Amino acid sequence: MISFEHASFSYPSGTKALDDVSLTIEDGEFACLLGGNGSGKSTLAKHMNALLFPDEGTVRVYGMDTRDPKALYSIRSKVGMVFQNPEDQLVASPVENEVAFGPENLGLDPQEIRSRVTWALESVGLAGFEQRDTAALSGGQKQRLAIAGALAMHPQILILDEASAMLDPKGRIELMEVCKKLHSWGMTIVMVTHSMDEASCAERVIILDRGRIAAQGSPDEVLCDEERLRKLKLEAPFSVKLSCALRSRGVPVGACSDANRLIGQLSALKEGRCSR
Amino acid sequence: MLSLENISFSYSADPERTGEWALRDVSLTVRKGEFLGIAGPTGSGKSTLSQVLCGLAAPATGSVLFDGKPLTWNRRAETPDARVGMAFQYPERQLFGASVLEDVAFGPKNLGAGHEEARNRAMEALERVGLDPEQVGDANPFQLSGGQQRKVALAGILAMRPSILVLDEPAAGLDPVAHGEVMDLVSQLHTRDGLGVVMVSHSMQDIARLCQRMVVLHRGRIFAEGSPAEVFADTERIESIGLALPRTLDFARKMEKAGMPLPSLDGLFEIDDLADAIAELIR
């Protein structure tokens, strides 16, 4: 569990990136952080594993104050983080050495390290890649490897800071599938993204604007209000825009942030049943 | 007209032995005033191709011709050929000027323009990207928003007056509103200013909506070429190399699988067109 209590943060340049944020990320949650460029979403994410600390207010991870130097080690081992550019976070080759790097630093015994490496690579769909050269992987594979490296530390919370931004569509889908699987195993997932379609997969969407929380709720609650989204420099997911265009043509479908559910509504309409 | 003839390029020292080609036997023509899209999975050679197109990367074999003559790097003057302008990914990371105007004027100055001339070109370029030179000219570029910084970086290229603009993922990393603005700008540079545009993008929706013609790269070779309607007509072939379909087509395909085929998917790239077709079907 991560809790922000009236947290504010300014960069040395004077830019106020977080402005009195109070927020709780519950255990086992799948949350998405959205917002325009400069809204503070990455800054917020970096407070979650003590890469940044609030100037005012507090951030606690499982009750531990992130500003407490003695808690740092424990916080970082509970909260794993994956960044935008996979190239920036891979340190070793071949693949199994990369994943073993973290557990080795924990001083675990070789047996335990081996089993963690095997499990982490299986979890992200890279079993069989143990001996591959890290540099020769595709972007999507590198990003999944970065997740495996974080998983090998057995975190309870995984934060992805625009981790899909540099991936092609297939890489993005692979990454989302891994996140959904980890979430189904009970891991807490916090995803920072610009993709409204990715956000529609989350349980809770939190929108930031100028360092403040501007909206939060389920994808259907938050992502269907086109006008508000535009004001926040975002746009509605594809299926919301389509359902809106359909309503204006007299097709009575409800606003819906998920394409498959929209197709379900259309299918029900076509068969002459009421969609509600 | 810019044409590539049988281009091969490798980052490996001995590609004949290793077989590691970034581009292999690529022939391609960018017609005058054309808007060409380049798509392909990660690692397919898109960024390499865009660097070859503007003369920044010299191919191992084959030639790059501009209006029939080789595109060259003029070593004596130490200036690159300015007829093809290139915007790398995240071009704002290359901003360095103390003021917006100084940054945008750097290119023309480097090409030999005098102070006054460079300044005039910079003002004009800023206007072309929709920024008011009076308002932002003296500003520190790093104080601007991400979307504005990107526009300043594009203005820096336009100030060199290229006739073809090569853009590598021009909207990457921008929020949806800034993304829309940059795509509108690129489209304007093509339709209003008559610039030839080559755009590398992962967004199939952007390519399908804006480009007249597109090329799909796969493992360094041209995998498909034609109008977006032609290329996306064979959806299974496109999906087989890990590319996504434009969202409109993807949705239509999902409807088909749910037993609601639309009569035609041809060129169905706008939400309004898709909504028309669905409304027709449901009625």
Question: Which of B145, B175, B278 is nearest residue A246 as measured by Cβ atoms?
Answer: B278
Average model confidence (pLDDT) across chain B? 90
Query: Considering chain A, what percentage of its residues have pLDDT values greater than 90?
Result: 66
CB contact under 8 A, B177 and A235: yes
Which parts of chain A have pLDDT scores under 50?
A: 274-276
Q: What is the pLDDT of residues A95-122, one digit of tens each?
A: 999 999 999 988 899 999 999 999 999 9
Specify the CATH number for the domain of residue B64. Answer: 3.40.50.300
Whether B250 and B234 share a structural domain: no
Neighbour-count burial for B63-75, b at 16+ CB within 10 Å, e otherwise? ebebeeeebeeee
Tally of CB atoms within 10 A around B56:
16
Of A37, A194, A250, the CB nearest to B279: A250
B42 chain-A contacts, CB cut-off 8 A: 138-140, 167-168, 171
- For the segment B239-266, what is each residue's pLDDT rounded down to a tens digit? 899 888 999 999 999 999 999 999 988 8
The shortest CB-CB distance from A251 to any of B179, B254, B282 is to: B282
pLDDT digits (tens, 9 = 90+) for B65-99: 888 888 765 544 444 557 888 888 888 888 988 99
Task: Indicate the angle between helix axes B100-110 and B146-158, nearest 10 degrees.
Answer: 20
Considering the domain architecture, whether residues B50 and B130 belong to the same structural domain is answered as yes
Give dist(CA B269, CA A140) in Å, integer.
27
Q: Are the beta carbons of B176 and A233 separated by less than 8 Å?
A: yes
Query: By CA distance, what is A245's nearest residue in B?
Result: B275
Q: Does A196 touch chain B (CB under 8 A)?
A: yes
Q: Please list every residue in chain B whose beta carbon sits closer than 8 Å to the beta carbon of residue A259.
A: 250-251, 254
More confident residue, B283 or B37: B37
Q: Do the Cβ atoms of B255 and A266 come within 8 Å?
A: yes
DSSP-derived secondary structure letter, A270? H
**CB atoms A36 and B43 under 8 Å:** no
- How many domains does chain B contain in total? 2
Query: Is residue B87 located within the same domain as residue B181?
Result: yes
My answer on whether B152 and B252 are in the same domain is no
CA atoms within 13 A on the CB side of B26: 36
List, for residues A34-60, the tens digit of each pLDDT value. 998 889 999 999 999 999 999 999 999
CA distance B238 to chain A (A): 12
B211 and B280 part of one domain: no
DSSP chain B: -EEEEEEEE-SSS-HHHH---SEEEEEEEE-TT-EEEEE--TTSSHHHHHHHHTTSS--SEEEEEETTEE--EETTTTEE--SEEEE-SSGGGG---SSHHHHHHHHHHHTT--HHHHHHHHHHHHHHTT--HHHHTTS-GGGS-HHHHHHHHHHHHHTT--SEEEEESTTTT--HHHHHHHHHHHHHHHHTT--EEEEE-S-HHHHHHH-SEEEEEETTEEEEEE-HHHHHHSHHHHHHTTPPPPHHHHHHHHHHHTT---S--TT--SHHHHHHHHHHHH-
- Chain A interface disruption, residue of B38, B175, B232, B272, most A CBs within 10 A: B175
Rounded Cα gap, residues A140 and A170, in angstroms: 8
C-alpha distances in angstroms, A23 versus A4, A45, A160, A276, B102? 5, 12, 18, 33, 43
Q: Are residues B173 and B87 in the same domain?
A: yes
For residue B145, give the nearest of A18, A210, A197 by alpha carbon: A210
Range(s) of the domain holding residue B252: 246-283
Nearest to B260 among A165, A196, A267 (CB): A267
The answer to whether A247 faces chain B, any CB pair under 8 Å, is no
pLDDT tens per residue across span B228-246: 999 999 989 998 998 889 9
Within this chain, do residues B233 and B250 fall inside the same structural domain, yes or no? no
pLDDT score recorded for residue B81: 59
The pTM (predicted TM-score) of the whole model is 0.82
Would you call A37 and B276 a contact, using CB atoms and an 8 Å cutoff? no
Residues B181 and B274 in one domain: no
Q: Which of residues 16-75 of A touch B (CB under 8 A)?
A: 35-39
- Over residues B124-149, the mean pLDDT reads 91
My answer on whether B202 and B262 are in the same domain is no
* Three-class SS state of A141: helix
pLDDT at A272: 77
Q: Which percentage of chain B shows pLDDT scores above 70?
A: 96
**Mean pLDDT in chain A?**
91
Domains of chain A (ranges, CATH numbers): 2-236 (3.40.50.300)
Return the structure tokens found at B207: 């390519």
Candidates A265, A270, A274: best to mutate against B (most CBs of B within 10 A) is: A270
Report ipTM (2 d.p.): 0.79
Q: Are residues B255 and B231 in the same domain?
A: no
CB–CB contact A38 B145 (8 Å): yes
Taking residues B206-233, what's their average pLDDT? Answer: 95
| Same domain assignment for residues B223 and B251 | no
What number of CA atoms fall less than 13 Å from residue B76's CA on the CB side? 0
Contact assignment for A230 to B260 by CB distance below 8 Å? no
Residues B114 and B228 in one domain: yes
